[in-house]
């Protein structure tokens, strides 16, 4: 059940993210968020939602299910995805997903292959593993096709924007830009008891009204409870993995040196993280198992 102290939904749950951004009634919230992300690169005035379930050209090909898929008033296609934990080949998946709005534009008959821009926006509640091996704690990655010799963009109609929300740690009083305010809401809304005075304007007023749990219908409340339960399982699993990983590291360093009892505990933790979709790299780091031991699970 939802804790009685929570007034607003957690936008990082599947239900919360889609309630805020995934319905035509709230398209003004999505427009505001995307314009904040684009930061003047283009200005979206209106958009329409597309079918979020896409199939290949035949039944044997893999399908894709997006959190949000829309077309803006200038013809650009946007995929917006929320991802809570890193998964192996996450980048590959985002590239694969972007092929669907590209092929959607194919026209029958004579066609000159002109395409409208395609954007994939990933809101990530984690930092890419390579960030942990460097001093880079940035929040935004904007990726385009680039000529590596000339160091310039080769094709500007295909854009991937990754927002590493785990690296966003600003206090509200330090959030001056629209995107900072949006990211603060996404990360902290479920901990707030009322809308802060710093978050003024029609967009944030509607955002907080949309997110108010007390206004949910019974079926909506049930769906959110299921979604928040799944989210908490992931968070608790990751927290337990970190704690256990530290304990294992201090005691033995690697699973080869663990006692039989601790080895079984590490294996059980690894199984739970694997079931939650956590990448092998993070499981190995957290559990202390070797790759050979992980493959045997």
Q: What proportion of the chain, given as a percentage, has pLDDT over 90?
A: 56
Higher pLDDT, 179 or 219: 179
pLDDT at 70: 97
Mean local confidence (pLDDT), 71-96: 92
Mean local confidence (pLDDT), 64-90: 92
pLDDT at 134: 61
Task: Say if residue 116's pLDDT is above 50.
Answer: yes
Mean local confidence (pLDDT), 114-138: 84
Confidence of residue 61 (pLDDT cuts 50, 70, 90): low
Q: State the CB neighbour count (10 A cutoff) for residue 282.
A: 21
pLDDT at 26: 95
pLDDT at 17: 95
pLDDT at 149: 97
Mean local confidence (pLDDT), 185-203: 94
pLDDT at 204: 97
Q: What proportion of the chain, given as a percentage, has pLDDT over 70?
A: 79
Q: 128-170, pLDDT tens digit by residue?
A: 887 666 666 689 999 999 999 999 999 999 999 999 998 999 9
Task: Say if residue 272's pLDDT is above 60.
Answer: yes
Q: How far is CA 78 from CA 25, 114, 127, in A?
A: 17, 17, 22
pTM of the full predicted structure?
0.77
pLDDT at 264: 77
pLDDT at 10: 94
Q: How far is CA 202 from CA 7, 128, 190, 199, 209, in A?
A: 20, 34, 20, 10, 11
Task: Say if residue 257's pLDDT is above 50.
Answer: no
pLDDT at 233: 73
Confidence of residue 84 (pLDDT cuts 50, 70, 90): confident
pLDDT at 180: 97
Query: Which of 40-54, 56-70, 89-103, 147-161 is predicted with the least confidence, judged by mean pLDDT?
Result: 56-70
Task: Say if residue 189's pLDDT is above 50.
Answer: yes
Task: Say if residue 60's pLDDT is above 80.
Answer: no
pLDDT at 296: 78
Cα–Cα distance measured from residue 276 to residue 278, given in angstroms and rounded to the nearest whole number: 6
Query: Which of 2-16, 168-182, 229-243, 254-268 is predicted with the least confidence, judged by mean pLDDT?
Result: 254-268
Query: Which of 41-50, 180-189, 238-247 is predicted with the least confidence, judged by mean pLDDT?
Result: 238-247
Mean pLDDT over the full length of the chain: 84
């Amino acid at each position: 059940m939802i804790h009685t102290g929570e007034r607003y939904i957690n936008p990082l749950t599947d239900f919360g993210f889609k309630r805020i951004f995934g319905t035509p009634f709230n398209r003004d919230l999505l427009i505001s968020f995307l314009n904040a992300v684009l930061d003047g690169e283009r200005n979206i005035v209106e958009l329409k939602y597309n079918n979020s379930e896409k199939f290949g050209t035949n039944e044997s090909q893999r399908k894709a299910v997006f959190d949000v898929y829309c077309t803006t008033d200038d013809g650009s296609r946007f995929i917006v995805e929320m991802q809570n934990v890193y998964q192996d080949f996450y980048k590959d998946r985002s590239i694969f997903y972007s092929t669907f709005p590209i092929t959607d534009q194919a026209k029958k008959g004579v066609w000159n292959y002109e395409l409208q821009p395609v954007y994939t926006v990933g809101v990530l509640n984690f930092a890419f593993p390579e960030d942990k091996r460097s001093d880079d704690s940035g929040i935004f990655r904007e990726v385009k096709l680039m000529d590596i010799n000339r160091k310039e963009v080769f094709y500007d109609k295909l854009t991937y924007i990754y927002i590493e929300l785990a690296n966003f740690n600003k206090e509200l009083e330090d959030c001056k830009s629209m995107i900072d305010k949006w990211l603060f809401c996404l990360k902290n809304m479920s901990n707030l008891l009322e809308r802060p005075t710093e978050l003024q304007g029609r967009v944030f007023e509607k955002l907080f009204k949309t997110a108010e749990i007390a206004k949910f219908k019974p079926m909506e409340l049930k769906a959110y409870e299921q979604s928040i339960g799944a989210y908490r399982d992931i968070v608790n699993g990751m927290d337990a993995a970190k704690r256990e990983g530290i304990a294992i590291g201090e005691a033995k360093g690697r699973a080869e040196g663990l006692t039989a009892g601790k080895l079984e505990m590490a294996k059980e933790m690894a199984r739970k993280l694997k079931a939650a979709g956590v990448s092998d790299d993070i499981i190995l780091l957290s559990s202390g198992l070797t790759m050979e031991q992980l493959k045997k699970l």
